[in-house]
Structure 1
Amino acid sequence: MDWQDDRIASARDGLNPTLIAEMDSNYAVMADMQFLPGWCILLPKRNVDSLNALDTQERKSFLYDMSVLGDAILSVCKPVRVNYDILGNSDQYLHAHVYPRYAWEQEERLKLPVWLYDSHCWSDPMTGFSEERHGALMHSIRSYLMSHR
């Protein structure tokens, strides 16, 4: 089985190469595509289909950790803002996208959801996550998260 078949279990088992850090109740991972450098995803430790499937404390922890991951991206990447998305339409398990938005993005693009970026952005191997290209960024985000526990 490929680590991408179960991203939560692969993070738990230390097999997910995008794993940034284990947080109190969640895992922070780098997104597969890094055309917006620093794009991260928050995964719960328990595989559920939506935020509503978590109990009250788990929800609070998930949303808090999501905001702390946003703080890390703001601190490390220096974007103009951070956007948060919890969707679950394609990958039907709870996960939150936390992605930076940059001043260097085209103005009209910056006003739109990231999902409307051109299709080539989603398949360009030069912006796909790799330890070689994104390892230092991953380490900086990890350092921030570990120092803000």
Structure 2
Amino acid sequence: MDDDWKRDRIRAAREGRNPTVIAEMRSGFAVLADMQFLPGWCILLPHQEVSSLNDLSMADRSQFLLDMSLIGDAILNVCHPKRVNYDILGNTDEYLHAHVYPRYDWEPAERQSLPVWLYEDQYWSDPETAFSTTRSAQLMNDLRAYIAAHVS
């Protein structure tokens, strides 16, 4: 798969070239994260690149946060995790995007209370848990169906 779309994920989503897109939402695009060692990990990308949540109008902020929570509902319904965590960081990719990731009972006990970012390096580079259009297809379809049924 050509990874050219990764240079500008938002533009690629708008142009239909981002294979991780699950659904277009009012505020942006629900996408599957590159690594799926926590199955169902999603990211909400805004329609237009902005630096932070604070750069949006109050109405756009509200919609972004609502869409983020709807992705969380989809993950809860489809993946049945113990909980869903939400992160808006922007430290590495310096544009607004929100991580919505499940946390599971089957994670090692010492991991469950720590941020996902502290998982060891091998989790971030394992090809068996990396996004794959074939391996991730059913998960994406299930998340897409939930989102479509609950967007008003």
Partner of 1:121: 123
Q: Secondary structure of 1:76's partner?
A: helix
Q: Deviations over 1:34-76 (max 9, x none)?
A: 0000000000101101000111111000000000000000000
**One-letter amino acid of the counterpart of residue 18, structure 1:** T
Query: TM-score, with normalisation over the residues of structure 2?
Result: 0.96
- Match of 1:132, SS state, is coil
Q: Does 1:33 align with 2:35?
A: yes
- The residue that corresponds to 2:46 in the other structure is 44
* Aligned-CA RMSD value: 0.9
Question: Structure 1, residues 73-96: CA drift from partner, whole Å, max 9, x if none?
Answer: 000000000000000000001000
In percent, how many aligned pairs have the same letter? Answer: 63
* TM-score, normalised with respect to structure 1: 0.98
The one-letter amino acid paired with 1:13 is: E
Q: 1:102-148 CA deviation, whole Å, 9 max, x = no partner?
A: 00001110100000000000011111000111110010000000000
Report how many residues are paired: 149
| Structure 2 residue runs without a partner (length 5+) | none
1:55-94 counterparts in 2 under 5 A? 55-94=57-96
